[in-house]
Amino acid sequence: TEARAFIGEEAESAAKLANPPDAMVRRMGERAASLYRAGAIDVMGYRILDERLSEIAAAQAGCERIMGTPLPFAYTLLLQRTAYIFCLLLPFGLASTAGWATPLFTALIAYTFFGLDALSEELEDPFGTEANDLALDGLCRVCEISVFEALGEAPPKMIPAEKYYFS
């Protein structure tokens, strides 16, 4: 919906495709080629645009790989079982040295291990809209502001934080 402000109706047709970001990069490449054929840009300008579009496509492909590659189940299972076994056996190793503080140390270490396990699952998908995901709207707005300033136009306002985090 926000893309409509920049590219109009093409945003709606791209949204219907299987991979909208790839379709938009492809359309930008087609537009650059038509500008070159029409003589609106020279060969150097076309080459620079083509290189930038290739970099955008590579970054987009990398983001898709990150988004589409979850933590393997075996990795998650191994971490959880190792943490359980370690926390189960830890009191026996600490009892002679920590004495009555053994339960406290065991609880603290168990909290840390299971917290790290939960954190890894939380950070597994960084491209959502939850509190611990990347602030993609804010990052895109910074890029928009830079483009507007480069064009000499009034930039849009920064996106405000909602409930102390940026979307």
Residues 19-43: tens digit of each pLDDT: 888 888 888 899 999 999 999 999 9
Mean pLDDT of the chain: 85
Separation CA 19–CA 8 (nearest Å): 18
Please determine, for residue 93, whether its predicted confidence score (pLDDT) is greater than 70. yes
- 7 or 110: which leads in pLDDT: 110
CA angle 129, 133, 134 (to 5 degrees): 100
Of the chain, the end-to-end C-alpha distance in Å amounts to 16
**Residues 142 and 159: beta-carbon distance below 8 Å:** no
